[in-house]
Chains A and B, each alone.
Chain A
């Protein structure tokens, strides 16, 4: 239960942290760390407006997407491996949750019938259908090593085995990084700060939303970034995750998570600063690279048995 609360509270903080470092690395005056909270509060006070042609699907989507992302944060072992949802959902269900959210937001974007929404939906699906298999393959690399698709089990085994080098995880790590950049609408694929219509993906999807609906979607985007960061940390740096929900263990795992997220957020801002946004038609190539790297990871695992 604590995990949900931490995810809800900390996700905008992570977004703020990444934005702050992005601004700093670009020699701009950095916004406050709490800026995402202010934005959310402002949006929640406003009165929502929907297009006349909007169907109930359009109005329901923010809640569905938000719910999916919150559930995803509940499956990923960020603080402890003793999760209430762990027996019910494994890594494949996690990818499925992301897919559900994507389908609904794309449908909602097309629902109103504006050109930008439709274009955004198409681009989102293009990115999604290439990113999903790559994400699954990267997760399967870890599953092959630990013989389990349940994330808590993977983390437990990885953290407990003595220090070993898994070459296949190196491949999976790069593939996962590429996928998370694409999935979280980060720079080489999409620019979260832009409002230039011709290049945007995530912004085009949420163009028609306002007030609390927009707040929920923005919050969901933060939660998604949080969930992806936690998956990455759980797979590749599983140390410091508590075994049980005991207060003493959590006292150790909360700072550990905060530290790891802080470093991860800084690296993300660094990647975004040093790379240029690529043309949309290059994105399939980029994601195909991720998929192939993940597959090679699996093959290398088969060859080396490690």
Chain B
């Protein structure tokens, strides 16, 4: 049973990586939100698993907080934002998808190589998944870079935070509770501010395409 649960951590890590790849190739905004919710759920499962295996009960609390924030609150807020901005069926042209995925593979190789010496220093139960967590962070980062619209960028930001959280769980069996709560609050606040920001962008330019922001005008 314990051996199986230890392997389950690897499986959850693999699912996270798969979801990160699904996100960078997803064209529809609504599906991105669904993927983000799935990522949150996977994260909760992984945290519970690590918490059970290492008998660290504060991880249960952090899993509960993750569930509340990333599976319930943020998706609801995202859905409301999508409805109010009326971008529900928006299809966004991507940078050539196979090319993006190829770049993603290179990032994965890079992250795996980068993580292996760090993981060797760690004594955590899930240290081998550090490479995957790092790869997910880089992939979310790439998603923020390659997207033209504001909403997918915000989702990229949120999923990067998810991956960072997983990295922390994998490398050190979770951060101190205080830090975790602080970050969770920061993400929520950041999201609310970005939501307001998006309305402002649309007021100004009638579009959420952030390329409009690159032109400087004096008027």
Q: Is A bound to B?
A: yes
Binding site for B on A (CB under 8 A): 163-165, 167-168, 170-171, 174, 284-285, 288-289, 292-293, 295-296, 299-300, 302-306
Known contacts A164-B7, A292-B105, A306-B7; A285/B129 CB under 8 A: no
Contact yes or no, B10 A167, CB < 8 A? yes
- A residues in contact with B21, CB < 8 Å: 292-293, 296
CB distance from B168 to the nearest CB of A (A): 18
Known contacts A300-B132, A303-B128; A165/B10 CB under 8 A: yes
- B residues in contact with A164, CB < 8 Å: 4, 7
Of A168, A284, A289, A305, the residue contacting B14 (CB under 8 A) is: A168
Beyond A296-B105, A304-B129, 8 additional contacts (C-beta under 8 Å) are: A165-B10, A167-B11, A170-B14, A170-B15, A285-B98, A289-B25, A296-B21, A303-B112
Contact yes or no, B97 A288, CB < 8 A? yes
CB distance from A250 to the nearest CB of B (A): 32
Q: How far is the CA of A288 from the CA of B98 in the complex (A)?
A: 6
Contact yes or no, B10 A295, CB < 8 A? no
Known contacts A170-B11, A304-B129, A306-B7; A296/B98 CB under 8 A: no
- Chain B 1-51 residues near chain A, CB threshold 8 A: 4, 7-8, 10-11, 13-15, 17-18, 21, 25
The answer to the question of B63 belonging to the interface, with a C-beta cut-off of 8 Å to chain A, is no
The answer to the question of B145 belonging to the interface, with a C-beta cut-off of 8 Å to chain A, is no
What residue in chain A is nearest B6 (Cβ atoms)?
A165
Q: How far is the CA of A299 from the CA of B132 in the complex (A)?
A: 10
The answer to the question of B144 belonging to the interface, with a C-beta cut-off of 8 Å to chain A, is no
What residue in chain A is nearest B116 (Cβ atoms)?
A303
Of A165, A292, A295, A299, the residue contacting B112 (CB under 8 A) is: A299
What residue in chain A is nearest B99 (Cβ atoms)?
A288
- A residues in contact with B18, CB < 8 Å: 170-171, 174, 293, 296
The answer to the question of B68 belonging to the interface, with a C-beta cut-off of 8 Å to chain A, is no
The answer to the question of B174 belonging to the interface, with a C-beta cut-off of 8 Å to chain A, is no
A-B pairs with beta carbons under 8 Å apart, 19 shown: A164-B7, A165-B4, A165-B11, A170-B11, A170-B18, A174-B18, A284-B98, A285-B97, A288-B98, A288-B101, A289-B25, A292-B101, A292-B104, A295-B105, A296-B17, A299-B109, A303-B128, A304-B129, A305-B128
Known contacts A171-B18, A292-B104; A302/B112 CB under 8 A: yes
- A residues in contact with B102, CB < 8 Å: 292
The answer to the question of B152 belonging to the interface, with a C-beta cut-off of 8 Å to chain A, is no
Interface size class of B (residues with CB under 8 A): 20 to 34
What residue in chain B is nearest A300 (Cβ atoms)?
B14
Contact with A along B118-154 (1 / 0, CB 8 A): 0000000000110110000000000000000000000
Contact yes or no, B13 A167, CB < 8 A? yes
- A residues in contact with B116, CB < 8 Å: 303
- Chain B 146-189 residues near chain A, CB threshold 8 A: none
Contact yes or no, A299 B11, CB < 8 A? no
Known contacts A293-B21, A303-B132; A167/B14 CB under 8 A: yes
- B residues in contact with A306, CB < 8 Å: 7, 10
Contact with A along B88-113 (1 / 0, CB 8 A): 00000000011001101100110010
Q: How far is the CA of A165 from the CA of B101 in the complex (A)?
A: 26
Q: How far is the CA of A288 from the CA of B128 in the complex (A)?
A: 27
What residue in chain B is nearest A302 (Cβ atoms)?
B112
- A residues in contact with B129, CB < 8 Å: 304
- A residues in contact with B98, CB < 8 Å: 284-285, 288
- A residues in contact with B105, CB < 8 Å: 292, 295-296, 299
Q: How far is the CA of A304 from the CA of B16 in the complex (A)?
A: 14
- B residues in contact with A163, CB < 8 Å: 4
- A residues in contact with B17, CB < 8 Å: 296, 300
Give the 5 A-B residue pairs with the shortest CB-CB distance, closest first: A167-B14, A165-B7, A288-B98, A292-B101, A167-B10
- B residues in contact with A285, CB < 8 Å: 97-98
CB distance from B78 to the nearest CB of A (A): 25
CB distance from A182 to the nearest CB of B (A): 15
Q: How far is the CA of A188 from the CA of B102 in the complex (A)?
A: 23
Q: How far is the CA of A285 from the CA of B15 in the complex (A)?
A: 21
